[in-house]
Amino acid sequence: MNSLCLRVAVLGCGAVAHRWYLPGLSRPDASYELHAVADIDRKRAEAAAAHYGARRVYASLDEVLSDDDVDIVVVLTRHRDHYDHVAASLEAGKHVYAEKPLAPSGPLVRQLVELARTRGVKLGAAPQVMLSARNRRVAELLAANVIGRPTLVRVTSSGFGPGDRPDVDYDPIWFYQDGGSLVSLGIYGLGTLLWLLGVPRTVSCFQGIAIPSRVVQTGPAAGTAYTVTAPDNVAALLEFGDGCLALFDGSYSVANSPRFELEFQGTRGTIWIGGFGGPDSVLVQGIREPVRAAGPEDDPAHPWTLAWGVHDLVTALVEGREQAVGTRLAVALADTMDAMRASAERGRHVAVGAGR
Ligand SMILES: NC(=O)c1ccc[n+]([C@@H]2O[C@H](COP(=O)([O-])OP(=O)(O)OC[C@H]3O[C@@H](n4cnc5c(N)ncnc54)[C@H](O)[C@@H]3O)[C@@H](O)[C@H]2O)c1
């Protein structure tokens, strides 16, 4: 029996830490423990430690990295800080799991992957779309050729964003100013598409700011007016070879999201995908056949948690295997998003890998 118990430090005790990671990481598990929490706002770290039972409290990344007992750093800071925080943690010889996007560009993501390799540590990055039973079922259906060869895919990963969500208990304004809708919301649908189909060859993209002046609708900042400075409306056409195309939107300018987030049209049928799980989250229809539910038998209300990405890293370390949520998708996403941004800026199609 393996008695390895890894010590986890959470960097950034903000919204995502409280909503997902800290509750998920404070559940009893013999293979790891929530050892430390850190935030530049020390009071936040103290509150998180008291509530979730972390032993040590820090107010900087340097303090975390000076703690020889820390094995894994979970980076939950804002988008523009991820690269620096992940790089410093890897340099210090810590394993890292980071929220998305891992870094602002493909070359910088590759630098982090190389740094992890040379330091002999593991790196994992959200989005963890490959852990979804629903997505794994779709991968099985595609591999089993149930709809033949994919021809046209529609992916919508859009809404009005956290500024309008009824369950928001934090100030969401920065999401509209640091990266915009693609890296925060669109990245989930785009990640699922790339995980299922691979990296597109060429993209053509438009982006803009569709709703520049907004007011926070709910939560502690309700009523606050703000200006959108990052693209809140992104749409792209992605070409995968063999004539297979995908239409994608990752927008904060969509009032009501459609029932199905993904639709795969193939030479022999269609797959519709929508909802977190359960049989009705995946529907299949062959040519001149009735629609049938083909989703997993899991309960859609199952307490799904982003902390599963960290559990995956822990399990990989304990069992000495590769992670499911490693860096391959982060690289694919960064390269594709680079090409999308370059296409939007230059007003032409861009080959993925030639975005910068
Ligand atoms: N908010 C959500 O529901 C949600 C959901 C999924 C993913 N995410 C992702 O999680 C990440 C964080 O988002 P958030 O909404 O939690 O942001 P947030 O602003 O609420 O939290 C970030 C925290 O990091 C702290 N921080 C900043 N710099 C620091 C530093 N140098 N050292 C230590 N702490 C520092 C801040 O004080 C703050 O408490 C982003 O990548 C976001 O895309 C958020």
pLDDT tens per residue, range 143-192: 999 999 999 999 999 999 999 988 888 999 999 999 899 999 999 999 99
Q: Which atom of ligand 1 is nearest to the CA of 183?
A: 43
**CA gap 160, 175 in Å, rounded:** 11
Host H or E run for residue 318: helix 308-319
Ligand 1 pocket residue status of 170, Cβ below 6 Å: yes
Q: Give, in degrees to the nearest 5, the angle at Cα 256 between 295 and 293.
A: 15
Six token digits for residue 247? 């239409």
In the predicted structure, residue 301 carries a pLDDT above the cut 70:
no
* CA 61 / ligand 1 centre spacing (Å): 14
* Residue partners of 328: CB distance under 8 A and separation at least 6: none
Q: Which residue has the higher pLDDT, 29 or 114?
A: 114
Nearest Cα residue to 253 out of 158, 115, 172, 346: 158
Q: Hey, whose CA ends up nearest to atom 30 of ligand 1?
A: 40
Ligand 1 atom with least separation from CA of 98: 41
H or E, element range at 322 = none
Tokens of 41: 């706002």
CB 338 near ligand 1, within 6 Å: no
Query: How does pLDDT run across 88-122, given as a tens digit for each residue?
Result: 999 999 999 999 999 999 999 999 999 999 999 99
Question: What's the mean pLDDT in 304-325?
Answer: 95
Q: Which amino acid is at 184?
A: S
CB-ligand 1 contact for 99 (6 Å cutoff): yes
Helix, strand or coil for residue 121?
coil
Mutate to test the pocket of ligand 1, among 77, 89, 337 (most ligand atoms within 8 A of CB): 77
Q: Which atom of ligand 1 is nearest to the CA of 45?
A: 39
| Separation between Cα atoms, residue 267 and residue 287, nearest integer Å | 9
Q: Measured from the CA of 179, which atom of ligand 1 is nearest?
A: 43
Give the count of alpha carbons within 13 A of 10, CB side only.
Answer: 32
pLDDT at 70: 98
For residue 226, give the 3-state DSSP assignment. strand
3-state SS class at 188: helix
Q: Do β-strands 262-266 and 245-249 pair in parallel, antiparallel, or remain unpaired?
A: unpaired
Residue 305 confidence (pLDDT): 87
Residues 158 and 184: beta-carbon distance below 8 Å: no
- 300 within 8 A of 18, measured Cβ to Cβ: no
Q: Are 169 and 220 in contact (CB under 8 A)?
A: yes
Separation CA 281–CA 300 (nearest Å): 8
Q: What angle do CA 312, 300, 294 make, to 5 degrees?
A: 95
- Overall average pLDDT of the 135-139 stretch: 97
Residue 88 confidence (pLDDT): 98
Q: Give 350 Cα–ligand 1 centroid separation in angstroms.
A: 32
Residue type at 333 in one-letter notation? L
Residues 150-168 as b/e (b if ≥16 CB within 10 A, e otherwise) read beebbbbbbbbbbbbeeeb
In the chain, the percentage of residues whose pLDDT exceeds 90 is: 91
Model confidence pLDDT, tens digit, residues 204-258: 999 999 999 999 999 999 999 999 999 999 999 999 999 999 999 999 999 999 9
Does residue 230 line the site of ligand 1, with CB under 6 A? no
Residue 1 has pLDDT above 50, yes or no: no
Q: What is the mean pLDDT of residues 115-138?
A: 97
- The rounded mean pLDDT for the chain is 95
What's the token pair of residue 155?
Answer: 């992916």
Residue nearest to atom 27 of ligand 1 (CA): 77
Task: Choose one of 16, 75, 174, 178 to mutate for the ligand 1 pocket test, by most ligand atoms within 8 angstroms of C-beta.
Answer: 16
Flag whether pLDDT at 4 surpasses 90. no
Cβ contact 88:96 at 8 Å: no
Does the beta carbon of 84 sit less than 6 angstroms from any atom of ligand 1? Answer: no
Return the pLDDT at 328.
Answer: 97
pLDDT at site 354:
73
